[in-house]
Each structure stands twice: as C-alpha cells, then as structure tokens.
Amino acid sequence: MKTLPITIGIGAVVLLGAGYLRYAPDWSFEHIRTRGQATADSLTAYAGAHGKCPAGLAELGLAAPSAQYGAFTYRTYRNGSTCELSTGDYFKDGEVIWWQWPPGEWYINR
C-alpha cells in the first residue's frame, strides 16, 4: 500500500504535464511573426509613404508588440533608410526572430 501514493503522485505529474503541453501557447515562428505583423505592416506603409522608417514606434502611435521573449525591439539604421523589429536573444532564448525593411520580410536565426 505504500506504493499507492507514489503512483498517484506520478500520475498527477503526467496529467499536469500533458495538460500544459495541450494548452500551452503556440510560440512557433509563425505565431511570433503574427504577433508583430500589424506593426510591420504599419512600418511598411510609413516607409513607403515617407521613403524612410520612423524614428520610433511612438511616432506612429504604436507600442512594441509582445511575444514569448518579451516585447519586440525597434531599431533604425542609416538615418532611417533601414529598420527592424526583433525579439529573442540567440544566446538566452536560442533564436532571434526579426522583420527588416527593406525588403519587409521576416527572418529567424536559430
């Protein structure tokens, strides 16, 4: 009878683990890309109309979208001729997902 509590404990852990895997959020590349796509679309429209990226997301009235690795980071380069929206840290999270304009495409580095 002493093994009954151990068996119940193991069963509970298995059920909790299965429940987590079943109902855990989807943090795939496509899910994370989808989280940032509306912001990327706004940046593309702005860059197309003005010929350069905005200095910051606040200029468009936007806040950085959030994903598994925290809020996306927005950066501009070459006086606004290039910009990117990124999340993740290669060494901490194992991957970086980013959108870059031009060309307005999503990338992943694992």
Higher pLDDT, 51 or 22: 51
Asked, for residue 56, whether it belongs to a domain, the answer is yes
For 24-37, the pLDDT digits (tens) are 445 688 989 999 99
Report the alpha-carbon distance of residue 105 to residue 37 in Å, rounded: 10
Residue 17 lies in a domain: no
Tokens matching residue 59: 């200029």
Q: Does the residue 13 lie in any domain?
A: no
pLDDT in tens, 62-108: 999 998 899 999 999 999 999 999 999 999 988 999 999 999 999 99
46 close to 54: Cβ distance less than 8 angstroms? yes
Q: Is residue 10 part of a domain?
A: no
The reply to whether 19 falls in a domain is no
Task: Give the CA dihedral 22, 25, 26, 30, nearest 10 degrees.
Answer: 160
Average pLDDT over residues 2-7: 59
Distinct helix (H) and strand (E) counts, the chain: 3, 6
Binned at pLDDT 50, 70 and 90, residue 3 comes out as: low
Q: How many domains does the chain have?
A: 1
The answer to whether residue 48 sits within a structural domain is yes
Q: Give residue 76's domain range.
A: 26-109
Query: Within its chain, how far is the Cα of 26 from the centroid?
Result: 11
Residue 100 CA to residue 65 CA, distance in Å, equals 15
Residue 7 lies inside a defined structural domain of this protein: no
8 or 105: which carries more pLDDT confidence? 105
| pLDDT at residue 44 in the model | 95
pTM above 0.85, yes or no: no
- 49 in a structural domain: yes
